[in-house]
A and B are shown apart, each in its own frame.
Chain A
Amino acid sequence: MNAANIPLDHLMLLACLIFVIGLVGIMTRRNVLYILMSLEIVLNAVCLAFVAAGAHWGEADGQIMFLLILTLAASEVSVGLGLILQIHRKHDTLDMDRLKELKG
């Protein structure tokens, strides 16, 4: 099956769907680890949109953007995991609703 045959609208709808799934995950999950994973889903949805658009227009820009986001996501995950490790050590919990010390 040729990827070029899939209409752009479908790909975009898929990307939106994945994006919303990730977003809902961020907003509903209480465990910070799952929030980080939902964030990855959101990023991947964006990547999909970029790649699909690049393929549609026959440009390489979408794939370059995907590579950039991939790098960003990798570094973000490494920093995020480090922070989560520290939070766990300090507070002995990963429940976001209990970590409210920055309340104004």
Chain B
Amino acid sequence: MLHAIGWVPLFPLLGFLVLVFVRMPARLAAWVGCGSVGISALVVFASALMYLQAPPEDGYQAITYGIWMSIGNFQPAFSVYVDTLTLIMLSIITGVGFLIHVYSAGYMVDDDGYARYFAYLNLFIAAMSVLVLADNLLLLFLGWEGVGLCSYLLIGFWYRDPENGAAARKAFVVTRIGDTAMTIGFLLLFAHFSTVNIPAILAAVVNADTTDTDVYVLIGLLLLGGAVGKSAQLPLQTWLPDAMAGPTPVSALIHAATMVTAGVYLIARLHPIFVQAPLAMHAVAWVGLLTLLLAGCSALVQVDIKRILAYSTISQIGYMFLGLGVGAWSASIFHLMTHAFFKALLFLSAGTVIFCLHHKQNIFDMGGLRTRMPLTFISFVIGCGSLASLPYITSGFYSKDEILLGAYNSGEALVFWGGVAGALITAVYSFRLLFIVFFGDPHTTPDKSPSLNMQVPLVLLGILSVLGGAIHLPLQNVLPLGTHEDSAHDHTPISVLLAVIPLLGVALAWFLFKRGRLGSAAWGQAQGAPSLVSFWRKGWAFDQLYDGLLVRPFVALANFNKKDVVDALYHGITQLAQWLHFQVSHTQTGNVRWYAGAMVFGVTLLTSAVVFL
């Protein structure tokens, strides 16, 4: 009966096709869009229950539906690989995805491209399910590029504004850099193991000779390249803040909850390669650490509500990478799940605020919304609490706690203390957002109230964000026992520290932004801000760096070679032919006697050639 899981990508795909090819009223489009994902979610939950009741003996089940292509011995199949990691990812994708679809039905209600929006969203769910279900690298790549395409389409959803199109292109091109590295990594894997089947590769890696790890280091670093592109980590993080140009539910689904965590999934899925290559593991941990600190600092000073959340997403995925890098595998996946809950909640709450304040996004235009939008306020408190990982009552605490414990047990003191500092920054920026938006003096009055289908997902995600920490993920058969599960040491002082840090951050935010003057609108102005603030606000000026280092030289080169040197040869051939043609066409005078003479001349020439040569 687990075979039914193959239907999970098909329902949204069918929904996509129907929405694209059939014209229908907006209400029906919403039903098709939400319904297809809802059915998929039900299939996933049923499959998960079935799987947990009777888990297969070797920890996973592979189901083949058909051969994709057949080239000699190379036969990648439409086959899925079901284990608990797959099921967890699928539950997040379809579950959170369904809630965001329902929310979108309310949020996008005034938009012209209603059916187009749901078509893209459905295609995204289909591609993302393929990505996590795939049991060979080729199918995984199909899903990987599919979600990239949907991300591009949805960032540029309001395509009439050229800025949105530029943001979409930027996201596509920057992730493409990572994808190229990943493709090379996949090809190396294929060259090394002569198969694209993931279980076969992993088994070969586990049984391989451990003395020669160079190739694993190389492959690991290349795969990390793909992961940092998709998951917006250093140095390819620049696309995610701009990706906020898309509709807010899209930011919640694609650029917070699911797609950007694909990199984490990729590394977790192929973890034996990284276990064999300690250097690649270190690289993952350090990429995560640097990203979470850099993005945290940038989030501290942003003034656009969605950009704050974007930087916090980059920072939280940094935590996941840190966890993967120190070997706290299941903790990372746990954080992936809780992050999907609370970040989707935060984005949808922010969306509600934006929706009700007629699309204002500057947090200094908001203020005092606590009494006017109580439900949104409560969801925001839960979301920010989870993001800041307030101890014991939020899900974010449990997952971040596990990651940092893993870092502590791995013995990498620098990584651990960096992560702790990041936790402090996280608490400060999340509560800065809360204080500025919901407390203080009101600047704008909400003129709309969210509809019921916007409120219900908020409530459900709020419940998940609180209770999600209690879920125990059954990952012990899939991922190796993490460093965080090592119970030989006494963790009490560290646990106390990790519980105190967020509270300290909240207190700091209170003094700085609620009592202090840093919460005033003057600090929101780009001018007059201290240079460090504007430097952080620009995201450590990475955009400017890449612009000067890569974009400008490339554009200059393209301008220089406008005429294309390679084309010159072919262009020359056509020009020569044309010139000859014009020369010969002069002989066509229309004079019959001239023609006769030419004929005689030609015949004489040919005859003499035959006779004398």
| Chain A contacts to B: CB under 8 angstroms | 23, 26-30, 35, 96-97, 99-104
Given A28-B593, A101-B590, A103-B588, list of 15 further CB < 8 A pairs? A26-B593, A26-B596, A27-B597, A27-B600, A35-B593, A96-B591, A96-B592, A96-B593, A99-B590, A99-B592, A102-B590, A103-B589, A103-B591, A104-B585, A104-B590
CA distance A30 to B591 in the complex (A): 10
Contacts of B589 in A (CB 8 A): 100, 103-104
Cross-chain pairs A/B with CB under 8 angstroms, 28 sampled: A23-B600, A26-B593, A26-B596, A27-B593, A27-B596, A27-B597, A28-B593, A29-B593, A30-B593, A35-B592, A35-B593, A96-B591, A96-B593, A97-B591, A97-B593, A99-B590, A99-B592, A100-B589, A100-B590, A100-B591, A101-B590, A102-B590, A103-B588, A103-B589, A103-B590, A103-B591, A104-B589, A104-B590
Q: How far is the CB of B587 from chain A (nearest CB, A)?
A: 8
Residues of B in contact with A, size category: 10 to 19
CA distance A101 to B591 in the complex (A): 9
**Cβ-closest chain A residue relative to B587:** A104
Q: Are B588 and A104 in contact (CB under 8 A)?
A: yes
| Chain B contacts to A: CB under 8 angstroms | 585, 588-593, 596-597, 600
Q: Which 10 residue pairs spanning A and B have beta carbons closest together?
A: A103-B590, A104-B588, A100-B590, A102-B590, A96-B592, A27-B597, A26-B596, A27-B596, A27-B593, A104-B585
CA distance A100 to B595 in the complex (A): 12
Q: How far is the CB of B600 from chain A (nearest CB, A)?
A: 6
CA distance A27 to B598 in the complex (A): 10
**Cβ-closest chain A residue relative to B592:** A96
Q: How far is the CB of B472 from chain A (nearest CB, A)?
A: 88
Q: How far is the CB of A66 from chain B (nearest CB, A)?
A: 22
**Cβ-closest chain A residue relative to B585:** A104
Q: How far is the CB of B289 from chain A (nearest CB, A)?
A: 77
CA distance A85 to B588 in the complex (A): 25
Contacts of A99 in B (CB 8 A): 590, 592
CA distance A30 to B592 in the complex (A): 9
CA distance A27 to B594 in the complex (A): 7
CA distance A29 to B590 in the complex (A): 16
Contacts of A97 in B (CB 8 A): 591, 593
**Cβ-closest chain B residue relative to A102:** B590
Contacts of B590 in A (CB 8 A): 99-104
Contacts of A35 in B (CB 8 A): 592-593
Q: How far is the CB of A39 from chain B (nearest CB, A)?
A: 10
CA distance A23 to B601 in the complex (A): 11
CA distance A26 to B589 in the complex (A): 17
Q: How far is the CB of B507 from chain A (nearest CB, A)?
A: 93
Contacts of B592 in A (CB 8 A): 35, 96, 99
Contacts of B588 in A (CB 8 A): 103-104
CA distance A100 to B591 in the complex (A): 6
Q: How far is the CB of A31 from chain B (nearest CB, A)?
A: 11
Q: How far is the CB of A27 from chain B (nearest CB, A)?
A: 5
CA distance A26 to B593 in the complex (A): 7
**Cβ-closest chain B residue relative to A24:** B600
Q: How far is the CB of A58 from chain B (nearest CB, A)?
A: 27
CA distance A96 to B589 in the complex (A): 12
**Cβ-closest chain B residue relative to A20:** B600
Contacts of A101 in B (CB 8 A): 590
CA distance A99 to B593 in the complex (A): 11
CA distance A103 to B592 in the complex (A): 10
CA distance A75 to B591 in the complex (A): 25
CA distance A32 to B597 in the complex (A): 15
Q: How far is the CB of A76 from chain B (nearest CB, A)?
A: 15
Contacts of B593 in A (CB 8 A): 26-30, 35, 96-97
CA distance A36 to B353 in the complex (A): 97
CA distance A23 to B589 in the complex (A): 20
Q: How far is the CB of B225 from chain A (nearest CB, A)?
A: 62
Contacts of A23 in B (CB 8 A): 600
**Cβ-closest chain A residue relative to B586:** A104
Q: How far is the CB of A37 from chain B (nearest CB, A)?
A: 14
Q: How far is the CB of B118 from chain A (nearest CB, A)?
A: 62
CA distance A102 to B591 in the complex (A): 8
Contacts of B585 in A (CB 8 A): 104
CA distance A23 to B597 in the complex (A): 9
CA distance A103 to B595 in the complex (A): 11
**Cβ-closest chain B residue relative to A32:** B592
Contacts of B596 in A (CB 8 A): 26-27
CA distance A75 to B585 in the complex (A): 33
CA distance A101 to B590 in the complex (A): 7
**Cβ-closest chain A residue relative to B589:** A103
